[in-house]
Amino acid sequence: MKGRPPHRGSGARRGPGGPKPGGFSKRPGTGPRSSALDAAQRAARNRGEEAGERSPWADVEAQDNAPRPKRASKPAAPKPAAAAPRARTKPPAETAARAKAPPAEAAPSGPTRREQREAASATLASGVQTLTVSPDEAGMRIDRFLGARFPQLPFTRVQSIVRKGELRVDGKRAKPSDRLEPGSSVRVPPLKLDQPTDRPRSPNKVAGDAEFLRSLILYEDADMMILNKPFGLAVQGGSGTVRHVDGLLEALTGPDGQRPRLVHRLDKDTAGCLIIAKTRLAAATLAKSFRSRAARKIYWALVAGVPRTRQGRVSTYLVKDEPTDADARMRVAKHGDDGASHALTYYATVDQAAQKLAWLSLKPVTGRTHQLRAHAAHIGHPIVGDPKYFDVENWELPGGIQNRLHLLARRIVIPHPRTGQPVDVSAPLPPHMAQSWNLLGFDAARYDPIVEAPEA
C-alpha cells in the first residue's frame, strides 16, 4: 500500500532470619528469684513454640529459619519442590548427553514428570515459596511462567492469582502479561490443591494425539513447528475445555523431557498458522520476535458488506468489557481509559460478492485480544459467523454459507529462532471457508494487496 490511505478508524493514535520462636536461654539464673524466672521463661518458650506451629509461614523473609509445621514431617516434604522445576531446565549440552545415555544410566537422572508435579503440589499446599527466574525464562509472561512451573495448576486459576495481587514479583504486584527478568524473585502464595488425580495416559491415546498433531504440521525443524490449527480446537484449557492444543502437546514430549511449548495463541474458532517451540530457548526467542513485532501476520476474513474504502487502517484503543473474564468481549475505548490498549490494523478488500459480502485481508500490527474481530465490527463490517461481534440488523446468512467464524490466520513470517532467516508459512482455507469461497467464486490464489501494507 503506497502512501497513507484516506480511510481511518476512529480513535486516538498511540503516541518487576529472625530468632526462632521460643529462643529463650535454657541456663537458669541465680538469686532468690531464679526458680520463678525459670518457670516464666519455660512458659514463654512454650507459648512461642505454639505460636510457631500455628503460623510457620507468617514471615516470608524468615521462612527458611522458621520451624516447620508438624505436617511437614511427612515423606512429601515441601523443600525438594524448589528443585523440581529446575530439573526441566538443564543446559542443552547436558540435556543432549542425557538423551543419548542408555536406559540403565538414565534411571537415577532425576525425578519423573509426575514426581515433579506432585512435589510442586506439596510445596504450594504447604505455604509461601519464592521462585527465582532462570536466564532461559527471561521474557516469559508471568502467567505462562507459573503455568510452566506448576502444570497441575489450571490456567484460569493462575490468572486469578495474579489479578488478585496474591503473587508478587520483586515485592511488587504484577499483571498476567508482565514479562520477567532473569534473577527476579517471584513470591507464590500458599494454595490448597487437591492431590493430582490424572491417570496415566494410555499408549494408544498418546500415539493418537501425536498422530493428530503431526497431521496438522505445515512446517517443522529441530527448533520449531507451525501447525494448521483447525476451527473449534482451543489453544489452551479453560472452564469446560478438555481437549486443547496445549494438552495435546504432551504427546510430543521427547525422551529428554523437553515438551513443545506454545509461543502465541489463536481464538478457538480461528483457524490457521500456530507456532510451537520445541525447546525453551526457542520459545523465548520466538516470543521476543512477537514482542518486537518482527513477526508479520496476515489474516483472511469474510465480512458483511463491502468497505467504502478498499484499503485502510483502523486505529483504536480496546478494553475488555469484563476485566476478570479471559474471553470477554472487547470494546473501543478512549486513550487513558483504565485497561485500554492501543490496537492498529491494516486491511484491504481482495474481492467481493455484489454489496453483500467482502473478502478482507487483514494485517494486525499489534496483537490485542479479539483485535481483528473488534476492528471489523468497529468499521461496520463484522466477520461472518462471529458470535460476539456480529451485530448487523436484519442480515440473513446467504444460502450455503455455514454460520461459523470466517477468520483464518492465513500467513506468518517470523525469523528462525536459531538462524534468524525468515520462516514463511501459509495455511489453507478451513473446510467451511473453502465452501464459502467456492460458492462466492473467490479465487484463493488471487493476489493479496495487504502484503504491501506498512508494518507499523
What residues act catalytically?
Answer: 267
Q: Whose CA is closest to 364, among 257, 282, 453, 249?
A: 453
Phi, psi for residue 351 in degrees, rounded to 5:
-160, 170
Phi, psi for residue 130 in degrees, rounded to 5:
-120, 125
The Cα–Cα gap between 45 and 48 comes to: 5
In this structure, what DSSP letter does residue 140 have? -
Helix or strand holding residue 332 (H, E): strand 330-333
Residues 6+ apart with CB under 8 A from 167: 142, 146, 161, 174, 186, 187, 188, 189
- β-pairing, 261-262 vs 271-277, is antiparallel
Handedness of CA 454, 413, 385, 432 (dihedral sign): positive
Asked if residue 363 lies in contact with residue 449, where contact means CB atoms within 8 angstroms, the answer is no
Q: How far is CA 113 from CA 20, 87, 119, 349, in A?
A: 36, 9, 10, 50
Amino acid at 424: D
Q: How far is CA 402 from CA 162, 329, 431, 432, 435, in A?
A: 39, 22, 10, 6, 8
The Cα–Cα gap between 312 and 335 comes to: 21
The Cα–Cα gap between 124 and 81 comes to: 9
What's the distance, Cα to Cα, between the start and end of the chain in Å?
12
Q: Whose CA is closest to 15, among 371, 317, 313?
A: 317
Where residue 315 falls (left for φ over 0; alpha for ψ -120 to 50; beta otherwise) is beta
Radius of gyration of the chain (CA): 28
The Cα–Cα gap between 60 and 77 comes to: 18
DSSP assignment of 243-283: -BHHHHGGGG--TTS---EE-S---TT-EEEEEEESSHHHH
